[in-house]
Amino acid sequence: MPGNKDRIAGLLLGTAAATVACAVAAVFGFLFLFALPVFTGGQGLAVLGGTWQPETGQFGILPMLAASVCLALSALALGWPLALGLCCSIRGFVPAPLARLLLALLRGMTAFPTVVYGFAALFLLVPFMREAAGRGSGLCWATAALVLALVALPTMVLVMDAGIQQMERRLHLTGAALGFNRRQILVHLVLPACRGNLSAAAALGFGRAIGDTLIPLMLAGNAPQWPHSVFDSIRSLTAHIGLVLATDTHSAAYGSLFVAGCLLLLVNVAVQLALRALPTKNGSSATYGYGA
Amino acid sequence: MSRIFRPVMLAVFCLALAVPMAWAAPLDAFQGKQGSINIAGGTAHISVMKEAAKRIMTVNTDIRISVAGGGSGLGVQQAGEGLVDIGNAGRPLSPEEVEKYGLVSFAFAIDGVAVVLHPENPVTELTSEQVRDIYAGKITNWNEVGGADRAITLYTRDEASGTREVFDGKMLAKGPVVVSANVVPSNGAMKTSVAQDPGAIGYVGIGHIDTTVKAPTVDGMTPSQENAADGSYTITRKLYMNTKGEPQGVVKDFIDYLYTAEGEEIIRASGYIPTGR
């Protein structure tokens, strides 16, 4: 009775999807619920101000939001082109054994805990950045962005590569019939067809970069100021939550963390939705499937 | 945290099997008992807690003790909410905290908080006024306080830190700290940062000072444990263990153990001065 099986499978999948949707909705709901007292508790919109100084009753978290966005975008600006380049190298621009080695290396990199990157960077990159900047401590926006780009790189390459591989298989004959070689197929046929996949990789990379806590906590310096220069010490929202979490649970500083969590979630959702809304060549929107 | 400590505890248990039982008198209190003690909070306390835990678990494998950090604020909060048995803090409890949680506090050691610089920094003495001006951003170059021509980079601790509370209150007299100062989350991270940065100024508990950083005199006072104990170094604090209500069972035994001669020896070995009860 294949019809029956289909129905059961459909029911199970539907249940799974509903459960996940409920869980996500619950996370949203609870965060908003916990964040609400901060706005209704007499402070009003003070939490959305520009100064974090709990001693004087100022709990503005906007500089941290700006820092998070700047950090994630700069990491993406460094990491995404690099990921695309690596992907193209793997799919036809370097000898096959080297490509296999690169791919294995990137897969291995996904398994590295971020604290290892942070720790290594603390002793290797930070002194270098301090000398390069000629001022400050080396714990800054630029240092954290460089390492975050490295951390987000394997995720982006693997997503891109999966899409490119599939598209290559589909377009290989067409390309060959046109007299294209493998590189020409990649550049003129596969990459344009993979646009949705490439933006999905960017969205995942952005999510990885804005959500990471340890790298900014260890390397960005954590000064709660507006980001002005790439050599400034800045504090991301994630690092901020990590730093302030240990205060008294009933303090206003603690309450403001829920607002910080909400903002992080909203930024991430906004970016994902924006990238999904980008039209691709065949008129459908970008998807997270490994095709296009 | 407990996941990290599990292998450590396992190692301690194995050690216990290998080492012939040495029945020191203060540890007799734990004989035949079992239970678990969860400890979290102030990072300055960790070395004392770990050593005591190791010795207790060596003679009695039925007692499990886990030690985690997290800062004074976390220690008070977690003890208050009943998440840990002992919540460590490097500052006294506020009246609100005592009232809200019903916490009982046990002071067991004195620790000083000292300014630390990079070991190659030629500055050997500062006044508290200079330290205040440096942290307020009025003095920005080491040559203004007799050092080399190099920009000063500031390091401070997060708001939940007991070390920061003592430094803010006693050294800076609640003076401002510029917003561009780097913030580090533990005494250890402070030491690592300052040890690497030639322009750095930071502060740590005196027990954490070693050759990787350099502590200048402040107002002529030399930061050392002896001076902190006899009162000739005044930027000090006590280290406390906090329990929700009067401690019971093995938790009480653990606290009592730190007040024995052996406990005081552990406290001294960690670089602090025992206060006695």
Mean pLDDT of A266-273: 87
Chain B residues in contact with A247 (beta carbon < 8 A): 73, 77, 159-160
Residue B99 forms contact with A (CB below 8 Å): no
- Residues whose CB falls within 8 Å of the CB of residue B6, separated by 6 or more in sequence, listed in order: none
- How confident is residue A275, by pLDDT bands cut at 50, 70 and 90? confident
The CA distances from residue A175 to A130, A166, A186, A198, B102, in Å, are: 50, 14, 9, 21, 76
- What pLDDT sits at residue A248? 64
* Domain parsing of chain B, residue ranges: 34-110+238-274, 112-236
Instruction: Give the rounded percent of residues in chain A with a pLDDT score beyond 90.
Output: 43
Domain B112-236 part of CATH 3.90.650.10: no
pTM reported for the whole predicted model:
0.78
- Residues B199, B80: contact at Cβ < 8 Å? no
A70 is written with which tokens?
A: 């700047």
- Residues whose CB falls within 8 Å of the CB of residue B268, separated by 6 or more in sequence, listed in order: B274
**H helix intervals, chain B:** 2-18, 46-59, 72-80, 95-101, 128-136, 162-166, 187-196, 225-230, 249-258, 261-269
Choices 3.10.20.740, 1.10.3720.10, 3.40.47.10, 3.40.50.300: CATH for A46-277: 1.10.3720.10
Could you give phi then psi for residue A50, rounded to 5 degrees? -105, 5
Residue ranges of chain B whose pLDDT lies below 70? 1-24
**Topology at the third CATH level for domain B34-110+238-274:** D-Maltodextrin-Binding Protein; domain 2 (3.40.190)
Size of interface A-B (CB pairs under 8 A): 77
The CA distances from residue A22 to A17, A18, A26, B191, B265, in Å, are: 9, 6, 6, 45, 56
- How confident is residue A255, by pLDDT bands cut at 50, 70 and 90? confident
Q: CB–CB of A54 and B159 under 8 A?
A: yes
* Domain parsing of chain A, residue ranges: 46-277
A175 versus A290: the higher-pLDDT residue is: A175
Residue A222 forms contact with B (CB below 8 Å): yes
Q: CB–CB of A223 and B180 under 8 A?
A: yes
Q: CB–CB of A232 and B181 under 8 A?
A: no
What was the ipTM of the complex prediction?
0.79
Distance from CA of A20 to the nearest CA of B (A): 27
Q: What angle do CA A236, A237, A240 make, to 5 degrees?
A: 85
Range with lowest mean pLDDT among A10-24, A155-169, A238-252, B191-205: A238-252
Nearest-by-Cβ selection for A233 from B73, B100, B182: B182
